Structure 1
Amino acid sequence: MSDAAATVVGDFPCVLIVGESSSADDAMDALAGAFAEQSLLRARTAAAARERLAEREVHCLVCPFDPDERSDSPSLLERLADRADDVPIVALADEVDADRALEAGASDVASDASATVLRTRVRNAADRERYRRAASAAAQRHRAILESADAVVWVVDAEGTVEYATPAVESRLGYTPTELERTALTRLVHPDDREAVRDAVATAVAGPTGTTERVRVRLGHADGTWRVATLTCTNRLADPALEGVIVTRTDAKSTADAGGPDAVRTGLDRLADPLFVLGSDDDVQYANAAASRFVRRFDSTVADDPLPPGVVLWDRLPDALGRSLSERVREAERTGSVTVFQTTAPSLEDPIAVAVHPGDDGATIHVRNRPAEAVETDRDRLALLESVVDAVDIGIAVLEGPTIRLANPALLELVDAASLVGRDLESVFDDDLAAAVLERADSPVVRWLDPVSGTLATEPPRPVDVSIAPLSPDFDADRAPSTADRTLCVVRDGAESSDGAASMLRRTTAALASAETPSAVRRAVVDAVGEWMGADVAVWYRGTDDLRPAATVTADYTDSDDASIEPPAIDPRGTRLEPILESGEPTVDDREAFTDVLARTGLRAERVLAVPVGSDGIVLATSTKPTAFDGIDGDGLEALSTATALALEDRDRAAALRTCRHERARLETVVDRDERLWDLGRSLLGAETREGVEERLCEGLVSLPLPAAADGVALAWVGRADDGRERLVPTAWAGRDAAFLESATVALDGSEEMPAHTAATTREAVVVDDLATDDAMGAETTDRAGEDSWRRRLRDRGFRSALSVPLTADEFRFGTLTAYATEPGAFDERTRRACAHLGTIAGAAIGALETKAALLADRVTELEVVCRDETEPLSSLAARLGRAIDIRAVIPRSTDGSTVYCSISDGDSDAIRDRAAAVTAVESVTVVGDGDDRTALEIVFAAPTVAGTIAAHGGVLRALEPVDDRTRLTIELGEPVDVRAFVRALERRHPGTELIARRTRERPPRAAGAIDELAGRLSERQRRTLEAAYHGGFFEWPRDHTGEEIAATLGISQPTFSRHLRLAQRKLFALLFDDAGEA
């Protein structure tokens, strides 16, 4: 039974719900299912709650917290916190008000929206308070007991300074506890004993918690006298309740005082042999009646009364006898062993046998008339038998009936008990084994050869094999025969037998089957090996080239626990482990074979067991016993190794299967998401209007799942850039709570630092993981009123994170795409990349639609731009020719180059062709027309030209003319194209570009109807092919160029040219002849 004090705690915790709001009523209903009826109390007001607290022992308070409650007076929670002392308070509040509730005095916060969370938190708070009060009451009770006890106890620190003294020091030593506190304990000790006290305290401090040292000293009293006492020093420095060394004073009493009841003294007086008990100063502390008669033989002055305590024995004996006894007493005290000798005296008729039994505080002298030789022979025989029994490494017990009368150390170790003498057999063996042993003890068979198997009554049960042999009665010439029924039991550890191995394998196999992880498998195996082998330490080392500890177990009888032992890694190369790992067979060796391994691990052992476990490593078990692991069943160890390897393979397969399933689910999610992105991208490219692109973008983004947010995107909207007013205007949205966007705008002048503003101005994606943080936008501003307003409006609608990406195409800024989610950190890196990709596609689609609209617009803006890029091919051509060039058409090639159809006024066509061909970037020049004083040329450029850049951004190059070291370009832009963005795009591609003139005019009227429909039906490649064929003279008669030649200028094959041309012609003729069929 444990000596620890029991703490009694009431059966029910008491919870008081305070408040008259509906949330308090809901909390009462929620808690009614988790607490007994008498455990729940209700108070409507703070005053009523105080009355309840005064009447009942309450372990937890529950009250609502209203953040909008009037600030001119304390809230209900604050009033309760002021009067509730240490009683914990669980506040009913939403997550957003949790911090304010804790600041107001709440111990914990729970939302009444979840009854389960509320019941759990209230139950935990009430139970903790209930046990805290019970533990506090128990500690106060223990201190009161110690204060009331008549025992002298000090608590000293590691240096021996008194920190506490019990009140008993005043009645026992004459000092008050206050006088002794903060003084050295050695001040109370005789100067000659102080060093011994210091050593005792130091030894106790140096040992682990619970180490005890005793020292016999002389203590000084307040009256100036010295009295002998025993000081017991116990190390409790690591105990948080004491944090010191406990020193207990025990008075030194004489044997006479400690003699016990008169019946004991009377019994000693009946002994026929003299018995003397001497103190440390050879003074008689006790002498029985025979001892008094023995002394009276030599000193007739001794009265018939017993020898009085305090006399010196040698003074009452003849000199020779006294001197002999004194020398033998000194010898016995010096050797610490019993001294037996034979002596005589003139007044004695026969020699006497004297036995001196030394002790710490004196000696006991036994005088016998029996010859010493007989006593010595019996003693030697008994000592020999005791040594043999104690040395046997097998448990031995002698029974008298069902009671144990003898048990050797090996049996005590098996049972894990300090003593077994006097205990019944049923308390050591299981019921079946005890019954079998008693049955065989009563059997007429003299000796049973086959043992009985069973288990010890230990936890866990330990298998044993017991051999039984009834003992014959002893006969001695000097004594009466013994008639007691005695039985010899030889107890062997069942783990060393085949039955023990089978039992261990069954238990371990069951543990392996229930282990869910490889670490649990390793732990079960080292537990089994440590228990089965009786090892001091068992360690599983993982790996083959570098063995690292993965699981460790220590025996219960060691001073260390599993966590305190962390052996280092081992390199098995060149050690005994290397061939063991190669062979895969369990091996037992002495310490010498594993010297290098033990030196690296720091383990102390006489025997080492090594059990390889497949390819996962090896289990090492060590023992300090020289005969450990003898008789171990090797087949059992191999079976254990095989079962463990299979279990590990099974766990590895299960882990690999879980990983594959997880990876498959992840890949399926990625594939599904990518397919959605792909479909959404195609849908954006297929939209016929900008509004269609924006609407499809918002709807598609809301439908996409988010890996980091279960609810996905809650709201997505597109803000269209209005560069004239420097604002973003929401034009499309999808999701919930979008009504506020109808009248909202975002300024681009820096007055509103919102994600959409930052994305539009920086043209980079912006992510806000938590809208509640102060630096959510990632930038510092001097005026955050607009930002705070937006963030507040978003948080009020339940949004917690945001993402915004720009919608751009080259230098053209079309707007932003912004998304909100209801969870913080909803937009991970993959989502950010996906949204940026969608933004790029949407920007390209909007740019293409804007370009198409510009080409078909009725109003055009004519720009005159100066280009200073000397490396630009068309500028180089104009400078080389020294005259203006009118551009008819620019047809992109499949490579980076293009084919330009242009006309040049005046001059010799051959000379113009030769000078044009000399330009570096020109691949070929062909004269395709010569008349009206103008030369028409087809020029194939190998490198990109400014005409391609202009066309890519929605413009049309009409003419260029060299002016000094510059080239002046005449460009037409459709109405929707932003002039500033267009010029910036030109300047970025061709540095030094400058706008010098800008005019707006109406585009010449053109035929509507069929022509517009034809433009809508032709693909881009079909239009380019038809245009190149027209300007290249393919339709002239005779033809200026063949189809193969024009295909070469376009960088395509002749069959591809013919296919595009035929398709374009079919669509044209279908419209011309009113054919409604599809081309």
Structure 2
Amino acid sequence: MKSGVAVLVCGDDEALVTETARALERVGDGFETRTAASDASASSVGAVDCVVSVQSETPALVETLRRDAPSLPVVAFGDWDADVVSALLEDGATEYVQRGSDEQYVVLAHRIERAVTVDGDAPSVAHEGFERYAEVIEALDDGVYALDDTGAFVFVNEAMAELTGYAVEDLLGEHTSVIKDHEAVTVAESKLRDLLSSDAPDDIGTTFELQLRRADGETVPCEDHMTVLYGPDGEFRGTAGVIRDITERKRREEMLSTLQETSRSLMQAPSREQVAAIVANAAERVLGVNLAVVRLYDADERVLRPAATTEATTDRLGERPVYDLDEGQAGQVFASGEAAMYGESHRLDAETTAQSGIYYPIGVHGTLSVLSEEPDAFDDVDRQVVALLATNAAAACNRAKREQEVRETRERIATILERINGLIENTVEVLVEATTREAVEAGVCAELAATEPYTFAWVGRPAVRGDELVASEWAGDAPIAMEGLSVSTSGDAPGARALAEHTTEVVDDFSGDDEWSERAREAGIESMMAIPLSYTDSTYGVLYVCSDQPDAFDDRERVVLEALGRAVANAINAIESGKILSADKVVELEFTVDDRDLLLSRVSAATGAALSSVDAVTQDDGSLRLYLTTEGGDSDEILAELADDDAVVEATRVAEHEGSALFDVVVETSLLATLVDHGAVPKAVGGENGVARYTIELPYEADAREVFSLVEDNYDGTDLAGYHEHERPVQTRQEFRASLADRFTDRQETALRTAFFGGFFEWPREVDGDELAGAMDISRPTYHQHLRAAQQKVFEELFE
């Protein structure tokens, strides 16, 4: 090759032509460049060694040069499509170089040198081109080689020699498989005949993977970017290539594949223990080390327990110990939450050492330890892999723990529902079949005591005198002496708040010095729930449910037992209320109350009128409708007093006649409603001069003293005025009224009541139909229609 190469750069784009010329002078060895437009003729070319056609729209210049200067090399440099490239080569372009690569100008310079021949010495072009750029090529980490048309190495760099395991001088002149006429052929026997063992591609230039066999017989995965070189006449000139060791890339690909497989397995693991086994196995497969330990945190004992180890770990290090927090490398990593990596000898714990190790926390679930008996066995990639394994393991443990909790919760709920369904079914049967209060209490206690986790149940009734609950019925295996047991309701004894506030009370501490707490401690009771037996404003006592397990009463238990308590109270109320209907004898109880907490007491004291309740009806919303007659006093003042009273929801004056008046009053709560709830039948209720007077009937076997004590305990100035026992009539007024009430509509009943108590049936009439209709806010014809319908039903009940 002559010392200087004159190159003419032509093209349509003046800026691109100038850039290409300058780049060739910079990278070429002794290049002298000139520039011209793409329409240059052979005469204008002058004395040059090579012409570079840069991105010309047409191959016109190539055609002209080939005609006028057939021996002048022309290198096409652009990014044309395949048709243009084909036309350029057919018209005589010596070389074609694709624009756009990182090394485009180096490749262009190499092709120019290859195209330029001196004294017809074409076969040496490839070798000389590489020699020109030997300094740059030697700086590369990848192996670079050049083969002549016989398949012999004419150039290799030091990286290629290191990759193959041969010295440079041993490779030069040797042969291997090459591309000739687009087919793989074996050229010569040599010690490198198997160096490139894969079939080479049939493209001009391509990248493929191969297994390179080193001098020592080791096989190394490589990637070869091979280019086949052709001369101007299309003859094969040689091969050039760049070989890169892809061992690390292959290792990472295998790591990634194994990690993906591991991740899928982890997401399906049903438990933390299964997660640990998968991670230990994956550490061995991915990192190629056989010493790995996964520990899981035991929250109850606050220790790290070995959950999974590789077989080699046990063989070489023995059974791995349990670590306390901060003990050993694993304990320290778990406690701090920070990973650790060692490349030299260090202690695992007081008895064991390792040469290399990576220790990573698995979230709040445990640790992963990967060990080696070689120093500096792990790099940053290994650390990243261990971090990814630990992170995925933590996520899998979280998922497995949640799913396990869901399974356990479902099983627990199923067990609870089965137990609750059985308890409710049996208790409802007891409530339906019981005919006495004692049977209700005894049956409920027996059913509760027979249901886990309950071991004992009892009912405490309020004492007639004194602030205490007295045990009435009980059942269970707990050794508790219940005879004579009482619980104070005036302090903090268990159940006192349940009775006073009508709310459930859960007790987990029996350290009190009251009698019940002492007996519960001795019997091994760990927790208890006190449920008030409440119906409206009345409480029939407290149901105590006990367990020998701590914290046995969660929210579900409370909901069920509260509902059970209400059902028991309703049953007791129904039994107590129904006694009056079936009793052969009744007790008539009369008492007075001088307490302004009662409506009749307040109104009579404020107005000076005498008030009497002639009827009372419980409405659907639970309120009580009273029909009050008054004697004396000013009716306007009485109406105003009733309307302004906080206990009154609604007050209406129905009728008025010569100092007497009838009022329709709706109240939310009253002592009268409480008495009815306890089985009493009101006979007469009134109020005069601030003193209310009640006459009620009770079933003979009922505890009249208990009812009187209920009033006495809640109202000041309560005095017993009379107590009488007498035979029950064949049909009580209550029974007769109940049968009629079932036949009336609401309007019919109201029309009849207002007419009767308003004096409509007196003669002369004390009130006319207009007044009564106005009180009901309906027309007079409509009122009379309701009244006549009600009268007909009364007469039918009397005479049919």
Return the structure number with greater relative CO, CA threshold 8 A, min gap 6: 2
Answer 1 or 2: which has greater strand percent.
2
Task: Report the TM-score, using the length of structure 2 for normalisation.
Answer: 0.44
Task: Report the TM-score, using the length of structure 1 for normalisation.
Answer: 0.35
